Amino acid sequence: MKITGAWLTRPETRAVCAALTGAGHRALFVGGCVRNALLGVAVADIDIATDATPETVTILAENAGLKAVPTGIDHGTITVVSGGIAHEVTTFRRDVETFGRHATVAFTADPAEDAARRDFTMNALYATPEGEVLDPLGGLPDLRARRLRFVGDPASRIREDYLRILRFFRFHAWYGDPQEGLDPEGIAACAENLDGLAGLSRERIGTEMRKLLSAPDPAPAIGPMTVIGVLNAILPGADPRALPPLIHLEADQPPHWRRRLAVLGGEDVAERLRLSRRDSRDLACVRDELGTTRPALELAYRHGADLARDIILCRAALFETPPPEGWQAEIATGAVATFPLRAADLPGLEGLALGARLKALEGRWIASGFRLDRESLLAAE
């Protein structure tokens, strides 16, 4: 079996492979780029596995006129930049000792040993520079069946890095068959190792949750997460019941993880997921507006089209009602509306009195559906 794709044959990537193979070393594409190519999904990151040591990779890359950056040299990874494109080149490894996220590794020349330390069988697929697929652990049948399965013993894989519990659900959301459900052994191992989630950094948890909630339909993964206690462990108080209705309502809308997070709710969400200042502010805005009755027109005027769309869809999902008629047109109108009065239009007023009058007139203008113009508002004075 062979994979194809423009990324596979572009000169920048071929130059990285040639630098290694030209010196007698192996260069095998691995992980997501192979998996996605087999699924016909866009390939973003290029990972290459090799029997060359990091020091050798660096020398060979620089001799070929490429830039070598020691981004993860302790774990055997060198980022080789070719034509502005980053390629993560990692030496074949085998685990000597594992403890949580960290592990003592030794380099090896055997890709089968390298495959044995990976997380899921569908991520343990390799391909030669010519695209010939290598499957040392039998991951191809799992990939064809859209079945997410841990490499080897699931509990052992999880104890090597407890983030793999969240990755199990995230990869199922993106690549698993939602009709078949999750692997029973994998689910059981996740349930048995929930305590390990407490040792993960909030940044890592936040990154995984954003990726999970960005999947086309994360509901089939979030459901089992809730049942075995994973969701409550990372987001106490979260409730997934409104997520499936939201996914249905989003059918003709661009999905967004923050909107989905808003209907999940939970305690101290921004802090628990270490959200950015902007994401924290936007999430709080959506959550605050869920309890108001402001129409789409006003929401778009006050918060912009994107947040207004999130609020309307989240309200509909949470209250199990259809969005109001004409809401999309109202958002388009409200997002570009500009209040026609300024402070200079109200001479003789200043300070709190000026602010109160402008606010009152703005409220009248909003209530009119933005139909009142400057002269009409001033005439009301």
Summarize pLDDT for 277-300 with one digit per residue, the tens.
999 999 999 999 999 999 999 999
Q: Which phi and psi (to 5°) does residue 50 adopt?
A: -150, 160
Amino acid identity of 344? A
Tell me which of 199, 234, 269 is where a domain ends. Answer: 234
Name every residue whose Cβ is closer than 8 Å to that of residue 22 and which is 6 or more positions away in sequence: 60
Greatest mean pLDDT range, 74-83, 108-117, 230-239, 245-254: 230-239
Which pLDDT tens digit goes with each residue over 151-177?
999 999 999 999 999 999 999 999 999
Q: Is the pLDDT of residue 25 over 90?
A: yes
**pLDDT in the model for residue 102:** 55
Choose the final residue of a domain: 234, 260, 290.
234
Domain boundary among 121, 144, 167: 144
Instruction: Provide the pLDDT for residue 96.
Output: 57
Range of the domain at 51: 1-144
Note the pLDDT of residue 355. 85
Query: Cα separation of 299 and 33, whole Å?
Result: 41
**112 and 33 assigned to the same domain:** yes
| Judgement on whether residues 225 and 303 belong to the same structural domain of the protein | no
198 and 261 assigned to the same domain: no
* Single-letter residue type at 26: R
Claim to verify: residue 261 and residue 135 sit in the same structural domain? no
- Residue 361: which pLDDT band, with cuts at 50, 70 and 90? confident
Same domain, 321 and 259: yes
Q: What residues have CB less than 8 Å from 33, skipping those under 6 apart? A: 7, 43, 45, 46, 47
pLDDT-derived band at 180 (thresholds 50, 70, 90) equals confident
Q: Residues 320, 258, 177, CA angle at the centre, nearest 5°?
A: 75
Between the alpha carbon of residue 176 and those of residues 53, 172, 218, 377, the distances in Å are: 34, 4, 11, 58
Q: Which H or E element spans position 87?
A: strand 85-91
Is the pLDDT reported for residue 103 higher than 80? no
- Position 371 scores a pLDDT of 87
Cα angle: 100, vertex 103, 107; to 5 degrees = 160
Chain centroid to CA 143: 21
Q: Has residue 27 got a pLDDT over 60? A: yes
If you average pLDDT over residues 306-319, what whole number do you get? 97
Contact between 129 and 27 (Cβ < 8 Å): yes
Which amino acid is it at 319?
Answer: F
Closest Cα partner for 357 from 378, 336, 334? 378
Same domain, 46 and 123: yes
Burial 64-101 (b: 16+ CB within 10 A, else e): bebebeeeebeebbbbbebeeebbbbbbbbbeeebeee
Task: Judge if 170 and 243 occupy the same domain.
Answer: no
323 and 355 inside one domain: no
Same domain, 7 and 133: yes
User: Are 87 and 199 in the same domain?
Assistant: no
- The tally of domains found in the chain comes to 4
Q: What does each C-alpha distance from 106 to 97, 168, 207, 354 come to in angstroms?
A: 10, 26, 28, 72
Report the predicted TM-score, pTM, of the whole model to 2 decimal places. Answer: 0.88
pLDDT of 6 higher than 90? yes
Residue 360 reports pLDDT greater than 90: no
Better pLDDT: 21 or 339: 21
Question: What mean pLDDT is predicted for residues 312-336?
Answer: 95
List for the chain the helix, strand, coil content (%; round to 5): 55, 15, 30
Q: Which long-range contacts link 363-366 to residues 24+ away (Cβ below 8 Å)?
A: 365/339, 365/340, 365/341, 366/297, 366/298, 366/301
> Do 354 and 274 fall into the same domain?
no
Indicate whether 64 pLDDT > 60: yes
pLDDT tens-digit readout, 214-246: 999 999 999 999 999 999 999 999 999 999 999
Task: Collect all residues with Cβ–Cβ distance below 8 Å to 369 and sequence separation of at least 6.
Answer: 297
User: Which band of pLDDT confidence, cut at 50, 70 and 90, is reported for residue 326?
Assistant: very high
User: Are residues 183 and 300 both part of a single domain?
Assistant: no
Sheet of 126-127: strand order equals 67-72, 77-82, 85-91, 46-50, 28-30, 126-127, 133-134
What pLDDT, on a 0 to 100 scale, did the predictor assign at position 99?
53
